[in-house]
């Protein structure tokens, strides 16, 4: 039976009424209540991650090994099984296998209270607004490091020499240690550079003496560790300098008999700093015009290890080799506008460090592995900071290495703010230094006599 027109109109009316109501309901114009709820939610999230990040971060561990993401550790796995590194039970602990933990008691010092620091490392004083980068402590997975005790370290260094030899990243670590040690010395005038030199960037060396302990903490600029010199007679005009891969830097005559040596190199071993600038590689009297930078670096590390094994007295000198500390330029390199100034937290997932950064580390490990395979006893301790530092993209000077904010395209994503990441390197140095000293009975007796 067909419907009459009036019946059809009655059925269509509800449809049009519903359509009018739907059109009056504007999806893109939410009510004040919905908008307010959204605003409050955003504020709470922002407060959690930024305003009260310190409270939230206390329970997190950022692992640097098999775990690739952040995990909660409120009394988490492994914490109860940790042993103390300086005890007998801690002998087999790998202190470089671990993660970064938030610690409210950090930093160990304030840059404004340390006069033994270059302006380029004073990020906070140069205007960096956040302090998160100063609050992270390195925590090994299976043992606890001793809390850094500056007084104890100075006492162990009494009548001794500790020398850093390497590039400007080594200087970064050296100044960190100066600040850590000087923090417990009331009379800062009792700490001075023996030649009266100011602590400014220069091509040479600096020796700071802690008068009350009759010890020195020294830095020798040797970015390649091997000798850079004039080219041999008759060399091509494009050869401005050469790196003698089979000879140690000239400064070795000054630091060779130090009680503690900390070597580092790597940041100058690239094409820009060598061949492009007219610096070629030399072995004996021959300049190797076709030698690759990677091969030259490998040869130089062999020279350093040979020097340690043949010229350093292991009964007197404890030797550390600090591995390469990665850079964190994003969107370019140091000369092409790379940046890192927006980084305020450690890397939570897998490292974003470019693969070529790891080649430096691999070269050192290859040389040391070859020696071990020949059953040679390594006369050095490896200060393996590469993995742990790779996650600290937040720790660089970035735009805050000048009193006035540096241009966006001239950032420093190689050096580190102080206080910051190099302090953790020195905490590891301190732990290994104590472990080594306690393993030598003669040291303990001599300290008792003094």
Catalytic residue annotation: 168, 412, 415
Distance of alpha carbon 367 from alpha carbon 149, whole angstroms:
34
Going by C-beta distance under 8 Å and a sequence separation of 6 or more, which residues neighbour residue 231? 239, 240, 241, 242, 280, 282, 287
| Locus of tokens 């970015």 | 223
What tokens appear for 331 in the block? Answer: 């969107």
Distance of alpha carbon 438 from alpha carbon 440, whole angstroms:
5
DSSP 98-131: EEEEE-TT--SS-GGG-SSS-GGG-TTTTT----
Query: How far is Cα of residue 143 from the mean position of the Cα atoms in its chain?
Result: 21
Max Cα separation, the chain? 119
Q: Decide the pairing of beta strands 205-210 and 191-193.
A: antiparallel
To 10 degrees, what angle do helices 357-373 and 293-311 make? 40
Distance of alpha carbon 184 from alpha carbon 111, whole angstroms:
14
Helices (H), 25-109: 32-46, 53-57
383 and 323 Cβ atoms separated by less than 8 Å: yes
**Neighbour-count burial for 99-108, b at 16+ CB within 10 Å, e otherwise:** bbbbbeebbb
What are the DSSP E strand ranges found in 328-434? 381-383, 396-398, 412-416
What tokens appear for 327 in the block? Answer: 């850079």
Q: Decide the pairing of beta strands 381-383 and 286-288.
A: unpaired
397 and 342 Cβ atoms separated by less than 8 Å: no
Distance of alpha carbon 241 from alpha carbon 238, whole angstroms:
9
Q: Is 166 left (phi over 0), alpha (psi -120 to 50) or beta?
A: left
SS3 205: strand
**Residue 313 CB neighbours (<10 A):** 9
- Using alpha carbons, list the distances in angstroms from residue 155 to 173, 272, 450: 20, 43, 10
């Amino acid at each position: 039976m067909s419907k009459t027109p009036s019946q059809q109109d009655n059925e269509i009316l509800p449809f049009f009424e519903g359509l009018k109501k739907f059109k009056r309901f504007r999806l893109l114009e939410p009510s004040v209540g919905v908008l307010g709820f959204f605003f409050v939610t955003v504020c709470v999230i922002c407060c959690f991650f930024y305003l009260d990040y310190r409270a939230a971060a206390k329970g997190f561990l950022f692992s640097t090994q098999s775990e690739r993401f952040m995990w909660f550790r409120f009394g988490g796995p492994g914490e109860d099984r940790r042993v103390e590194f300086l005890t007998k039970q801690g002998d087999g602990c790998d202190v470089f296998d671990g993660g970064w933990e938030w610690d409210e008691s950090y930093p160990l010092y304030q840059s404004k209270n340390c006069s033994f620091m270059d302006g380029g490392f004073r990020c906070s004083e140069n205007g960096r607004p956040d302090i998160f980068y100063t609050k992270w402590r390195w925590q090994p997975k299976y043992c606890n490091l001793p809390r850094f005790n500056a007084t104890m370290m100075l006492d162990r260094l009494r009548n001794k020499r500790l020398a850093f030899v390497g590039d400007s990243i080594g200087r970064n670590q050296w100044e960190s240690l100066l600040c850590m040690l000087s923090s417990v010395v009331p009379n800062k005038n009792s700490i001075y550079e023996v030649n009266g030199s100011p602590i400014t960037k220069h091509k040479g060396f600096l020796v700071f003496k802690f008068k009350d302990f009759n010890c020195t903490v020294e830095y020798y600029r040797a970015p390649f560790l091997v000798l850079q010199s004039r080219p041999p007679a008759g060399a091509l005009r494009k050869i401005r300098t050469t790196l003698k891969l089979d000879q140690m830097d000239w400064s070795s005559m000054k630091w060779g008999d130090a009680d503690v040596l900390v070597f580092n190199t790597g940041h100058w071993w690239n094409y820009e700093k060598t061949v492009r600038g007219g610096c070629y590689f030399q072995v004996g009297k021959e300049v190797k015009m076709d030698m690759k930078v990677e091969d030259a670096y490998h040869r130089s590390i062999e020279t350093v290890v040979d020097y340690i094994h043949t010229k350093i007295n292991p009964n007197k000198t404890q030797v550390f080799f600090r591995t390469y500390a990665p850079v964190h330029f994003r969107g370019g390199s140091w000369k092409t506008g790379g940046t890192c100034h927006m980084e305020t937290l450690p890397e939570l997932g897998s490292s974003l460090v470019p693969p070529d950064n790891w080649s430096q580390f691999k070269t050192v490990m290859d040389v040391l592995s070859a020696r071990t395979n020949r059953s040679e006893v390594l006369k050095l301790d490896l200060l393996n900071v590469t993995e742990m530092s790779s996650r600290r993209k937040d720790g660089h000077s970035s735009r805050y290495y000048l009193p006035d904010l540096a241009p966006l395209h001239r950032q420093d994503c190689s050096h580190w703010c102080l206080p910051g990441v190099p302090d953790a390197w020195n905490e590891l140095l301190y732990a290994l230094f104590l472990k080594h000293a306690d393993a030598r009975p003669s040291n303990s007796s001599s300290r008792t006599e003094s």
